[in-house]
A and B are shown apart, each in its own frame.
Chain A
Amino acid sequence: MPGDDAYGPLVTRYMRDRPIGPFNFQAIERRARSLKTGRQPLSKRTTFALGALAIAVPTMALGFTNRTALEAQITAQLSSWDKRAVRTTFVSAQRTVTLATAKQSADFHFRLPIDLPDNAYLERIEEIDRSSYIVTYRRSDADALYFSILKRKSGTYFGTTTAVFVTRGGKIEHSYRLPTYVWNVGDETVILTARGLRAKDVDGMVRAMGGTKPAPLPKDAIVR
């Protein structure tokens, strides 16, 4: 009678049915070392100094012309904040930028907007609320700002779910996604936002540009 024992061969067969991945002792050693390193707590002062340095370097416009380096830098920065579960205030050259961090560790993958030119550099990262940030870039050869919205769900940041391109002077050069809403700030600045963007996201962008409360424009006035 096949009783409890009958299931053992079944499970064992399933477990042994597939090939085993390669054993790599060096990789395990490396992981173990990083494990030890990661467990050493950093003081708040050190955390602040490292974070401030990381954000200040690109903020001072040293010119991240390499897209991959910029992505890696932002990813590393936000990931480290995430894992340390601290709330830290970073002071940029222009304004105070506050970033809240998640309590839980999360894999974080950040991608720049696909149309961000290589000569753009990170200007600032601004918190909208505890689940989203605005990342602002400025192009070194033009008076243009680029925004990307960073959202977090269940402790995981999703990359640029909505990217917005902003021009000054009323001329729209390009938009990352088909714009749905058009806002103006002052007389000349136009912001295009993609469908689904929350009102407070827009407010955050407007604030980041030094504008006032946006007023909607008729769609056919700007959209091309």
Chain B
Amino acid sequence: MGVDNVGELVSGARDRDPGSLEALLAAVWDDAFRIARAIVLDDSDAQDAAQDACAIVYATIPSLRSADAFPAWFYRIVVRCATQLAKRRARDSPGVEHVAGVPAGAADRIDLQRAIETLPLGIRIPLILHYFADLNTGDIANAMRIPSGTVRFRIMLARRRLRPLLEIRLPNQNVEEVPTHAG
């Protein structure tokens, strides 16, 4: 979370201070939207999922025991909302994939986007939470309700899929081989 005073805002929000609540949600909105979008692969669905997540935070933050627990708690809610929406969309449109718009830019951007977005959801989510949200495997396991070992294994699978991109970018360097661990 790219805001320094999140702890203060969380404390204020838990006490139902309207200003703190709005400031907190505004501060975490970007992360919520980005993570939701990486899961649902659609901007308007990401908006919906992020708003749902923020609404849940709005309604339930007084029950949060500690301000320190906010990031993991918040990401868990975002992941849950976005995953539910992604599954619903997949069910509503069987066989139809969300095709994300390709931003204008170099080919490697397209490769990067394609490489990440073609990862199965169960692999993409831990990758994003680990490298973008900076959650540890325990928090990711908690968010996804899977064992920690499974999280590590899936992150390893994601790295294996992304390795060719790194090899193109860094042709003279070797990418670390990660030992497998199935949880």
Task: Assess A4 versus B26: contact at CB under 8 Å? Given A36-B59, A155-B91.
Answer: no
Cβ of B91 and Cβ of A21 under 8 Å apart? no
| Bound CA span A10–B31, Å | 16
Task: Check A215 for interface membership: any CB of B closer than 8 A.
Answer: no
Asked if B173 and A1 sit within 8 Å, CB to CB, the answer is yes
Query: A18 and B166: CB pair below 8 A?
Result: no
Confirm or deny: A2 has a beta carbon within 8 angstroms of a beta carbon on chain B.
yes
Could you tell me if A27 and B166 are in contact, using CB atoms closer than 8 angstroms?
A: no
Task: Determine the residue in chain B with the shortest Cβ distance to A109.
Answer: B92
Is B151's CB within 8 Å of the partner chain A?
no
Given contacts A20-B33, A23-B26, A28-B51, contact A4 B178 (CB under 8 A): yes
A32 at the interface (CB under 8 A from B): yes
- Which of B88, B103, B113, B128 interacts with A107 by CB under 8 Å? B88
Answer whether residue B153 sits at the interface, using C-beta atoms and an 8 A cutoff. Answer: no
Answer yes or no: A43 CB below 8 A from chain B CBs.
Answer: no
Residues of B within 8 A of A8 (CB): 131
Complex CA–CA separation, A25 to B113 (angstroms)? 30
* Cβ–Cβ contact A7 & B166, under 8 A: yes
Is residue A35 within 8 Å, beta carbon to beta carbon, of the partner chain?
yes
Q: Contact check: which of A17, A25, A36 meets B25 at CB < 8 Å?
A: A25
Which chain A positions have C-beta within 8 A of B35? 15
Task: Please indicate the chain A residues that have their CB under 8 angstroms from the CB of B22 in the complex.
Answer: 25
Indicate if the CB atoms of A10 and B162 lie closer than 8 Å.
Answer: yes
Assess whether B88 is in contact with A6, with CB atoms less than 8 Å apart. Answer: no
Most interface-central of B50, B59, B175 (chain A CB within 10 A): B59
Closest 10 CB pairs of A and B: A31-B55, A3-B176, A11-B131, A32-B58, A32-B55, A21-B47, A23-B29, A28-B54, A32-B59, A8-B131
User: Which B residues form the contact surface with A (CB < 8 A)?
Assistant: 22, 25-26, 29-30, 33-35, 37-38, 43-44, 46-47, 50-52, 54-56, 58-59, 88, 91-92, 103, 109, 112-113, 116, 127-128, 131-132, 159, 162, 165-166, 170, 173-176, 178
A sample of 6 cross-chain residue pairs with beta-carbon separation below 8 angstroms, ordered by A number, consists of A3-B176, A4-B159, A11-B116, A23-B25, A25-B22, A32-B59
